[in-house]
Amino acid sequence: MIGRLTGIVADKQAPDVLIDVNGVGYEVQLPLTSFYELPEEGVQATIYTHFVVREDAQLLYGFSSKQERSLFRLLIKANGVGPKLGLTILSGLTAEQFVTCVEQDDVTTLVKLPGVGKKTAERLLIEMRDRIQALNLAPEFRPLEPIMTGSVMKKANEFDDAVSALVSLGYSSQQANKAVKLIFKDGDDSETLIRLALKNML
């Protein structure tokens, strides 16, 4: 199993990143909360990974901390929650916010996430209540402020990248377009647009 990668960020487009480890490129999908913490392209990064083998694919999911990865692993053990939905949940909510939802039985917030219906949310709260107590809520568990790349791209590309990222998380094209249009400002990069759009949708 591949549990951690340390290498150069060769390419990134939310929610995917390509990490070059000694000449080998690993394609990794990250929840947006972890994606925001990635450094600029060309800079070394370390991510903790979860390796999934399916009949038709071998997939790597990445996280900025061991605790976030642990929460992801707990999520995918819940009935009806696979890796894709687990990634979506941790993209719409930080790990700390999710824990708060569980502690407060907050179904309303969870059902706003794509792919999470009321029954799934209620079941998730019940199943996760005891499991999250085993997590160590150390300071590194709390997401850091996003590290933005500062690279300047064309406005259309930033808009399209933000919409594509939201669609990949399970939102419809119409929802994604509407959410990005509402918060779009010249000068904002795609990561900022994604973060603000998600915040408004929740």
Q: Which of 75, 139, 129 is CA-nearest to residue 103?
A: 129
Q: Which of 67, 75, 197, 58 is CA-nearest to residue 144?
A: 67
For 112, the token pair is 């706003």
- Give the chain's domain count: 3
By residue range, what is the domain housing residue 196?
155-201
CA distance 190 to 196: 10
Sign of CA dihedral 25, 31, 34, 39: positive
Structural domain includes residue 103: yes
Q: What is the pLDDT of residue 156?
A: 52
Q: What is the pLDDT of residue 141?
A: 40
Structural domain includes residue 145: no
Q: What is the pLDDT of residue 135?
A: 64
Structural domain includes residue 146: no
Mean pLDDT by 10 residues, the chain (202 residues): 92 92 95 89 95 88 91 89 90 85 89 87 87 58 34 54 78 79 79 81 68
Q: What is the pLDDT of residue 29?
A: 94
